[in-house]
Copies of this chain bind each other. A is one copy, B any other.
């Protein structure tokens, strides 16, 4: 029943191009979330970006006329000390590493993507040891703070924290659910605020089990619209929703865009190969976009989030983070989809594993709403990705070559022990500098 104290936020990876959205989020919700200090932490190699973004942040708060102090630092411990919330948005190895995650698998006829398949595995191997370090520092320096993670692969990272530390104040976030809600709002031509979806599954493998407008289920209508051959606009415009009518009717749930990798594996592989050929992988595209963005950010007259940031991808991530922090801080009891401990919400997933599921957000953290179970047809894939996440987490923590090969072999985008071994061999070498557990033993 303590009086609310002035808040301190620490953002690891603060030099990220996303930061202006985060700052905008804090500005928009300042009434409910009166933060006092925002600490942007980054590594020395990112000094220039950190300063560029940090100065923009300062200009934004100033323009909004809010007394928020922005601190820039390379000293993570200083930033964590007594923080109330810690957000993580760092990228080990930067976009160069992502480019490798995307490029290398394609050589083996396997999808190259940031959070799925080999790319997801190696992003996890690079990221998990760092997250566990942060968690350990938090336990020492700010044990009551919440860790709001949106560093990918957010599901695997949350699983790793739950299984390989005794820290429990962790929430993983994604912008996919919010995007699905907005897609439905658009499809039905209603305001976003009137749409609610019962979400359940894993990060980047989430299903909408029911869909409501003003509390009434509209799932049947949505599925009808999604399978209407005349509804060509919708089919063309909403990425990842061009599902075979027979499939979507019998699945009877709303897949997420990442389901394309699993329910349209060969087609998506082909598309990815073509666009990697034509315009480069996504990392390569983003590298170009980011260069332009940082040019913009440097403009001393800029004091708002520039609209061009939307094109970067990842829109609404930071908004989701600020929305979550606000609800925890104010014990709001509203419903948000987050990555948290299952605790019985989904029957076929162990209670102590991470799931992404609609939860009540309280000061005591997210409390999942019971789902019962996801549809029979979806259980296998979800369990398979969960198995992958668990084995991959173990590989990351132990620096285990064998488990890295096992994780890739059971990944449904690979399904080959021979390819798994070859890909692991090449990618280990490529990411050597960021995998001390595997090399410095």
Contacts and interface: CB of A to CB of B under 8 A. Distances in A.
A419 interface: yes
A402 B227 CA distance: 12
A380 to B, nearest CB: 3
B247 A421 contact: yes
A210 to B, nearest CB: 7
Given A247-B405, A344-B370, A377 B410 contact: yes
Contact of A379 (B215, B381, B387, B401): B387
Interface string A194-216: 00100000000000001011111
A25 interface: no
Number of copies: 4
A64 interface: no
A309 interface: no
A251 interface: yes
Contact of A415 (B2, B266, B360): B266
A438 to B, nearest CB: 13
A87 B214 CA distance: 24
Contact of A363 (B215, B250, B372, B385): B215
A403 B250 CA distance: 6
A431 interface: no
Contacts of A376: 387, 390-391
A143 interface: no
Interface string A367-396: 111111100111111011111101100000
A351 interface: yes
A331 interface: yes
Contact of A343 (B370, B415, B418): B370
Nearest to A350: B348
A215 to B, nearest CB: 3
A362 to B, nearest CB: 6
A367 B369 contact: yes
Contacts of A381: 380, 384, 387, 410
A378 to B, nearest CB: 8
A167 interface: no
Contacts of A379: 383-384, 386-387
A246 B401 contact: yes
Given A217-B364, A345-B344, A377-B410, A263 B415 contact: yes
Contacts of A214: 1, 331, 363
A421 B250 CA distance: 13
B262 A415 contact: yes
Contacts of A215: 330-331, 362-364
Given A368-B369, A369-B370, A421 B377 contact: no
Contact of A406 (B250, B344, B383): B250
Given A215-B364, A344-B344, A251 B383 contact: no
Interface in A15-42: none
Given A267-B418, A333-B335, A402-B246, A387 B380 contact: yes
Given A216-B364, A266-B419, A333-B334, 18 more contacts: A2-B216, A196-B362, A244-B421, A246-B401, A247-B406, A249-B402, A250-B405, A263-B416, A264-B417, A333-B335, A335-B360, A344-B370, A360-B369, A370-B370, A377-B387, A377-B391, A377-B406, A379-B386
Q: Which 9 A-B pairs give the minimum distances between C-beta atoms? A: A215-B331, A380-B384, A215-B363, A250-B402, A380-B387, A265-B415, A246-B405, A250-B406, A247-B417
23 contacts: A1-B213, A1-B216, A212-B363, A214-B331, A215-B331, A244-B420, A246-B424, A247-B420, A250-B400, A262-B415, A263-B417, A344-B347, A344-B373, A360-B360, A368-B370, A369-B370, A377-B407, A378-B387, A380-B380, A380-B383, A383-B383, A384-B412, A412-B415
